[in-house]
A and B are shown apart, each in its own frame.
Chain A
Amino acid sequence: MADRPITIREALSAALREEMHRDERVFIMGEEVGVWGGTYAVTRGFLEEFGEKRVRDTPISEMVIAGAAVGAAMAGLRPVAEIMTINFAFVAMDAIINHAAKIHYMFNGQFNVPLVIRTTTGGGKQLGATHSHAPEVIFAHFPGLYVAVPGTAYDAKGMLKAAIRDDNPVLFVEHSTMLQRRSPVPDDDDFVLPIGKSDIKREGDDVTIVTFGKGLEWSTEAADQLAQEGIEAEIVDLRWLRPLDLEPVFESFKKTNRCVIVEESLPMFNVGAEIAAQLQNELFDYMDAPIKRVAAMDLPLPYNREIELMALPNPQKVINAVKEVL
């Protein structure tokens, strides 16, 4: 079937709809997923299509949204729980980390937790300090929990379907400012991407940019501008923070010998820190320049638009970092 350009929102809806048709055990629960149609309209029309049994509005109770979804998953259902934004997942941290991520191990494999928690992330909308960070890396700290961070409609659809079909818990993180981005997506019920595979989004010989989520947008814009100056950046989109697939990063770095990591996370203890550590460990002899990181500034995000944008990464910051390593 022909690929159609659709938005990330449409891609997510399609993935959910297809998987719900494919497997009776798949259901949705969360705040405003039903009557409202989803805070970000991803589940609009689902209540009418699938009914109250499978599209379940919950009270404002993040602990029990995550926790009950864990129990239902252990017992054999395949919940797709929605937590409105990742900031509210802090309230449910215990259920996600201590239970979703650890139960399979702690009971020696007796229970699987085939759970997807969908949530949105990201700043740049003047929502202030409590609603604006992109803290997905925190969740990637813990073995037992996969963390998906798609940046295109193609990836969003294929990765969400993979997440729903997998027997492990997945935190599926969607960027709230990217839902309208379009890209061609196979119109195929069985289009499923592998879990834990990063992807080369652009080829180039001069520098490796490693990124994910919103960083893909900043990096692509930066790469377009750099190309006009004759600098060719290779962009590796991680797509998953766990399982973390660094093979393409290593391969690229062997070629470019230079690396910039771009992410919306806070600057300390972030994805860039992990990748820099692994690169110097694995490929010290290939390194021609210090590895640079582009991230948000080390502060709670402010409300004021000008200074909020100042605190976040942008294409210019990526360009500056690339020029420093060249």
Chain B
Amino acid sequence: MAPKKDTLLDWYRQMVLIRRFEERCAELYQQGLIGGFLHLYIGQEATGVGAVNALREQDHAITAYRDHGLALARGLDPKAVMAEMLGKKTGVSGGKGGSMHLADYDRRFWGGYGIVGGHLPLAAGIALKAKYNEEDEVVLAFMGDGSTNIGYFHEALNLSAVWELPVVWLVENNQYGMGTSVERASGAVEIVNKARAYCCGPNGRGMKEGPRVDGMDVLAVYDAVSEGIEHARKHGPILMESLTYRLEGHSMGDPQRYRTKEEVEQFVANGPIGRFRDYLNEKYKGIDPRLDTIDQDVLDTIDDAVEFAKNSPDPTYDDLISHVYAD
């Protein structure tokens, strides 16, 4: 079913929200208000927004440390996300998680995780819960291209194949893990090919090798992940790949010696937001002013979020010592 106009406009809003939110984060980082590591999602918005919007309410999402975009797309309150960036008590993780560890239990957003690949077995476990309880739920597990070379990846994918778990394994192939390109790090350069190692068992059981989608096209990602979710519901796991690009450094302060300015420029020129805006203008004549209004609203949302975060209290000593154990 093709998404309606309002839906498409909302996706546009989400993509702009992520972009502007992160640009503001970069400023706040320079000002010393955000500490630690900050991994920007800029350039990958179409992947996150297309994929997350394919989820149904009962489905689950989990990712690595590059998690702001997915958190916002999943509907986490920008105020609480910004407050977490600033380490405030009102943050989604109470100021104890930080940029890499955003989570929201109510939205079935199971978190960002700072250990490469460490969240992949968790995704399998969450999917096992759904299968165990015979619930119609799918887990969408995002990961970087680099994480497909770590042991966790192979064990998690293999188990999901053997146990026929409802997981969509979605590789956000932004072409680099830190400064190491896919070609220099992975035996298979088409990462979806790795699915073949986990297929096929009795009755064709096992990992489906999914598509490599244009991760700069929000509609294409949405369609592919929607199909992936259907497959996972009915038949079990699928590995798919979204071809995207990170326009900023790996994290703040990356000198980016591993790639050329020209390479980055090419992707800037064909960025996902501009492309989607062109598409909307083509499809709905005269929509441009409305898109401008959305742009402005987003800026207001972010101003509010920053204001909220700055005015929020820091966690206290009691917070420091709370939640070490479950009561």
The A163-180 residues at the B interface (CB cut-off 8 A) are 166-168
Question: Which of B110, B122, B133 is in CB contact (< 8 Å) with A67?
Answer: B122
A108 near B121: Cβ-Cβ < 8 Å: no
Can you show 30 pairs from A to B with CB atoms below 8 A apart? A53-B132, A59-B162, A63-B121, A67-B156, A68-B128, A68-B156, A68-B159, A69-B125, A71-B125, A71-B127, A72-B125, A72-B132, A74-B110, A74-B125, A77-B132, A99-B115, A104-B325, A104-B326, A105-B323, A106-B97, A106-B101, A107-B103, A108-B323, A109-B94, A110-B93, A110-B103, A110-B105, A111-B110, A114-B326, A143-B324
Contacts of A63 in B (CB 8 A): 121, 151-152, 155
Given contacts A53-B132, A59-B155, contact A144 B125 (CB under 8 A): no
B97 near A107: Cβ-Cβ < 8 Å: yes
Question: Which of A59, A73, A103 is in CB contact (< 8 Å) with B158?
Answer: A59
Chain B residues with a Cβ closer than 8 Å to the other chain, count: 43
The B142-179 residues at the A interface (CB cut-off 8 A) are 151-152, 155-156, 158-159, 162-163
B99-129: CB near A (< 8 Å → 1, else 0) gives 0010111000011010100101111111111
In the assembly, what is the distance between CA of A114 and CA of B125, in Å? 13
Q: Is B31 an interface residue (CB 8 A)?
A: no
Tell me the smallest distance from the CB of B197 to a CB of chain A, in Å: 12
Given contacts A61-B158, A112-B326, A143-B324, contact A67 B120 (CB under 8 A): yes
B324 near A105: Cβ-Cβ < 8 Å: yes
Question: Which of A66, A70, A167 is in CB contact (< 8 Å) with B326?
Answer: A167
The A84-131 residues at the B interface (CB cut-off 8 A) are 94-95, 98-99, 103-114
In the assembly, what is the distance between CA of A71 and CA of B163, in Å? 15
Given contacts A27-B132, A67-B124, contact A144 B101 (CB under 8 A): no
Contacts of A138 in B (CB 8 A): none
Given contacts A71-B110, A74-B110, A110-B103, 8 further A-B contacts (CB under 8 A): A64-B120, A67-B124, A75-B125, A103-B111, A105-B96, A106-B96, A112-B326, A113-B326
Tell me the smallest distance from the CB of A209 to a CB of chain B, in Å: 29
Given contacts A72-B128, A72-B129, A74-B126, contact A106 B121 (CB under 8 A): no
A76 near B129: Cβ-Cβ < 8 Å: yes
B296-326: CB near A (< 8 Å → 1, else 0) gives 0000000000000000000000010011111
B93 near A67: Cβ-Cβ < 8 Å: no
Given contacts A77-B129, A110-B103, contact A64 B97 (CB under 8 A): no
A71 near B123: Cβ-Cβ < 8 Å: yes
Tell me the smallest distance from the CB of A288 to a CB of chain B, in Å: 36
Q: Is A317 an interface residue (CB 8 A)?
A: no
Chain B residue nearest to A75 in the complex (CB): B129
A46-68: CB near B (< 8 Å → 1, else 0) gives 00000001001011010110111
B125 near A56: Cβ-Cβ < 8 Å: no
Contacts of A77 in B (CB 8 A): 125, 128-129, 132
In the assembly, what is the distance between CA of A63 and CA of B121, in Å? 8
Tell me the smallest distance from the CB of A101 to a CB of chain B, in Å: 9
A128-153: CB near B (< 8 Å → 1, else 0) gives 00000000000000011000000000
B97 near A108: Cβ-Cβ < 8 Å: yes
Chain A residue nearest to B120 in the complex (CB): A67
**Residue positions of B touching A, CB distance < 8 A:** 60, 93-97, 101, 103-105, 110-111, 113, 115, 118, 120-130, 132-133, 151-152, 155-156, 158-159, 162-163, 319, 322-327
A56 near B156: Cβ-Cβ < 8 Å: no
Question: Which of A53, A67, A107, A143 is in CB contact (< 8 Å) with B121?
Answer: A67
Contacts of B101 in A (CB 8 A): 106-107
Contacts of B156 in A (CB 8 A): 64, 67-68
Chain B residue nearest to A243 in the complex (CB): B325
Contacts of A109 in B (CB 8 A): 94, 322-323, 326
In the assembly, what is the distance between CA of A48 and CA of B219, in Å? 49
Contacts of A68 in B (CB 8 A): 121-122, 124-125, 128, 156, 159
A64 near B152: Cβ-Cβ < 8 Å: yes
B152 near A99: Cβ-Cβ < 8 Å: no
Chain A residue nearest to B123 in the complex (CB): A71
In the assembly, what is the distance between CA of A105 and CA of B95, in Å? 11
A61 near B93: Cβ-Cβ < 8 Å: no
Contacts of A98 in B (CB 8 A): 115, 118
Tell me the smallest distance from the CB of B161 to a CB of chain A, in Å: 10
Tell me the smallest distance from the CB of A108 to a CB of chain B, in Å: 3
**Which of A69, A73, A75, A76 has the most CB atoms of chain B within a 10 A radius of its CB?**
A75
Tell me the smallest distance from the CB of B271 to a CB of chain A, in Å: 32
A111 near B125: Cβ-Cβ < 8 Å: no
Chain B residue nearest to A68 in the complex (CB): B125
A71 near B128: Cβ-Cβ < 8 Å: yes
Question: Which of A67, A108, A166 is in CB contact (< 8 Å) with B94?
Answer: A108
In the assembly, what is the distance between CA of A108 and CA of B320, in Å? 10
In the assembly, what is the distance between CA of A66 and CA of B151, in Å? 13
In the assembly, what is the distance between CA of A74 and CA of B123, in Å? 10
Chain B residue nearest to A72 in the complex (CB): B125
B115 near A94: Cβ-Cβ < 8 Å: yes
Tell me the smallest distance from the CB of A99 to a CB of chain B, in Å: 6
Tell me the smallest distance from the CB of A77 to a CB of chain B, in Å: 5
Given contacts A106-B97, A107-B93, contact A64 B323 (CB under 8 A): no
* Shortest beta-carbon contacts, A-B, top 6: A71-B125, A67-B121, A108-B94, A71-B122, A64-B155, A75-B129
Contacts of B126 in A (CB 8 A): 71-72, 74-75
Tell me the smallest distance from the CB of A163 to a CB of chain B, in Å: 13
Chain A residue nearest to B159 in the complex (CB): A64
Contacts of B121 in A (CB 8 A): 63-64, 66-68, 70-71, 95
Contacts of A58 in B (CB 8 A): 159
Tell me the smallest distance from the CB of A138 to a CB of chain B, in Å: 18
